[in-house]
Structure 1
Amino acid sequence: MSSPSSGSPEREGGPMAVGRLESLSSPAGLDGDPPSMGSPVLSPDSSSHDAALSAPAASPADSENLSPDELELLAKLEEQNRLLEADSKSMRSMSGSRRNSGSSLVSSSSASSNLSHLEEDTWILWGRIVNEWEEWRRKKDKLLKELIRKGIPHHFRAIVWQLLGNATDMPVKNQYSELLKMSSPCEKLIRRDIARTYPEHEFFKGQDSLGQEVLFNVMKAYSLVDREVGYCQGSAFIVGLLLMQMPEEEAFCVFVRLMQEYRLRELFKPSMAELGLCIYQFEYLLQGLEIIFRVGMAILQYNQTDLIQLDMEGMSQHFQKVIPHQFDSCPDKLILRAYQIKYNPKKMKKLEKEYTTIKNKEMEEQIEIKRLRTENRLLKQRIETLEKESAALADRLIQGQVTRAQEAEENYVIKRELAVVRQQCNTASESLERAQGTIRELQQQKVASH
């Protein structure tokens, strides 16, 4: 899943990928639809506020479900947006000319006034949506999706995300405080990685910051709820993004819903089997794959001058801290540059075949290496067995030689003793013969005397 803060793609998309999510107006993962590129913050200095705040045109089917007040409010939003766009164009035109400053001030004041009315109307509309959520989901679902894609106001984002994920009344919320009192086997790992999650964001900056503490709490609680997944570093970036918008208990509930109901947990399992499947399926989404290459090349071309002057560490820091914020004010600029990149499908197909050939060759080599390693291991085991047998035979040989030496020494001693005994026997025999001769002489003398 490499650490995300160090530029690794980890069982995680890394801070750069998740950082882009922060700039989106709606949680597309909850809705099942692709996100828009509108700015999430309603501010006059946002260069894309006209895209983020514009109300979608209601379809005939949706118009039938809208009340007269809602239709009037949508019409006002569209009218205010057109006026705001006209004033913005007028301001850009005047900034390039040498007209008097009074005209510019009047135009600026008009734009600010229009934006203020637009913000007020947007708040009224979203307040009504939140209060009548079930009715909107049931009767005006298509219009609701379009409004979400255009941008959820910042202060409504927390409750709308919970409503979208159906995470407002989950039983697991009541267990949260008890889970925090328990001990998790992942605590040390979570604590180690917390500082590497959005390290430059003000909420998470600092060792003992509130952001790091609540992030630790949510990750610890989830590791106890889902022991199969436990903790995976990449998931902390999702929780961090939720904590930027809502309190920790609500963030915990939304995260549990994302992991279990929207199957994100399958991507963070230790085997990562589902992640491999998603990557394999993604390869067949040609447009999606093509735009990834286009955007990647556009980013590299845009930063070419800076990157060629940096070493590897400098490049890593540049990708982590500079590039994620280059297109915050105007994300459409990146898309336009991306579509200017020449993409050759035939060349990509050729590279794909080359890559497949290389990978197949590597796989064959790996299989051969594995076979040789197995054979080598068996030979080593055989050598060890033979060495043990040889050592045993050597011990037996040495023991036999020692035994024979001892027997030879004993034989030598016995031979010496035998020689002594033979000599003694010969001496005794000679003494016996002399004694017998003496006896015979005495007997003869005795006979002669009679």
Structure 2
Amino acid sequence: MGSLADTRTLWSNGEGRKRTLSGCSSDSVSAPLNLRKVSWRQKIFLRVASPMNKPTSMQHPDHCDVMDLLPLSPRTFDPSLDPLASLLPTSGDPFTGKRPKRTAVHYRALWKTAIHQQILLLRMEKENQRLEASRDELHIRKMKLDYQEVGTCIKDVLAFWDRKLSVPGRAKVVPLDKEEVHNAISKGVPKGRRGEVWLLFSQQHRLRHRLPPGRHAPDTPYQDLLKQLTAQQHSILVDLGRTFPTHQYFSAQLGAGQLSLYNLLKAYSLLDTEVGYCQGISFVAGILLLHMSEDQAFDMLKFLMYDLGFRRQYRPDMTSLQIQMYQLSRLLHDYHRELYNHLEEHEICPSLYAAPWFLTLFASQFPLGFVARIFDILFAQGSEVIFKVALCLLSSHEGEIVECDSFETIVDYLKTTIPNLTHTQMEETISKVLDMDISKQLHAYEVEYHVLQDETVDAVLQSNNSDRLDKLEKTNNQLKKQNMDLLEKLQAARQKIQSLEATVGNFLSRESKMKHMIRSLEQERQSYQKTIERMRSCLPQDALADVEMTHMVKPAQGPNGKAKPTAKKP
């Protein structure tokens, strides 16, 4: 019997009679038959039954029966091989060519068999879809893990990790033995189960170390964060194409890798508003996505940032990164003095070459297999692994760096030559990192940094205090001078006020005199008015009329248009 794809190809267009499911060629089958109208049961049967070769000499081409559509071999028909043959009557009379009449029992049996076959086909279809999805998932997983592994795991190591990963409820069980885990890591971690191993390390770390309440990551679900908008969207989109541009999982523009990376960076920028998004986090998130799903990568990113404390180096002030650069310089000074002096002679500080190493955890410049091994040790031992890797890389290339005699050649060697490690160099570096312990030195250097910072601040404050006293004295003298000027202005203003007050007093006295004069004139006018009234009462009526007529007559005008003066009566 052929594959399910052959079945869909043969029967989806109603031309199943052209070939059999066993894959016979079109030359061994007959031409298509013109079917008469059939019942809906027969249509279902035709969709699921196997095609056959119809002998044209036994029947008219315009008539087709169900028996003609039963599965036949291209050459012969063996009833014992046909699953439906036992349900149908045998062939008819060889002399007349007629077939016996079929009963309802036969058709019912055919119908049941057709239903069973249809159910089988549906199940095969679902299984085929599941297999296709599984193939796509395997293809994506293979594409993610397309890098050269550093070191190979032997069977004993694979069995060890299988046992540890198969423990039920491993997030709540007794913590693993550190020495046992250290030995297992030194022998390697299986690439296919590396993400599970990292998750196991994070769970074990949380069993041993409890963060203070104020340092816990916000408990916002990943899916809820994806529904929100971030102000860092433009920066994230710009850096998507710059993150692992040569890796096939991230190289496709807005492909599956870039979309997953965008979701992860967006979710973290919304979760940690203080850090938001910083260049370098994208490479760390990309390494996580290569080995696990988005949800798991988001949880591991929170573990790196909060539990292991890497978020401090991504803060806007980057104080933690400055401390790390100081610690690296102190390590070079104490353990590789010649290299330290050579770098200091050419004024090359660690931030020129080591800042990308710390911000991307070596993922931006070094091979993925090497970076994956660094992450193996990082999740097991903590942030000091970054210092150990940097110190081992610099020490293993100390001779070549000292031979460089200029600023440009040294920086070029540090940025381009060191990352191009051979497979042997990577294995040797990992081996040295596993055997190194610098935790006490790092702690001492951090304390030393803070002490020096406080001393520097005190010295600056003292120097600032002397300068401040001088400035205060100058300011005081200026203020005294300004005060004297203001006093002189105040005295002049007071004198002016006094003169103005005297002027106002004069105006007030004159005003009172004028008011008194006005009152006297008013009294005099009233007395004159009374005198006039008495005089009018004493004059006769004729004289009074003449006086009134005199006042009513218009005065004569002179030659210049003015009124002529009239003689006053005595």
Classify the TM-score, shorter chain.
Answer: 0.3 to 0.5
Bigger radius of gyration: 2
TM-score after normalising by structure 1: 0.43
- The structure showing larger relative contact order (alpha-carbon pairs under 8 Å, at least 6 residues apart) is 1
TM-score after normalising by structure 2: 0.35
* Structure 1 or 2: more helix by fraction: 1
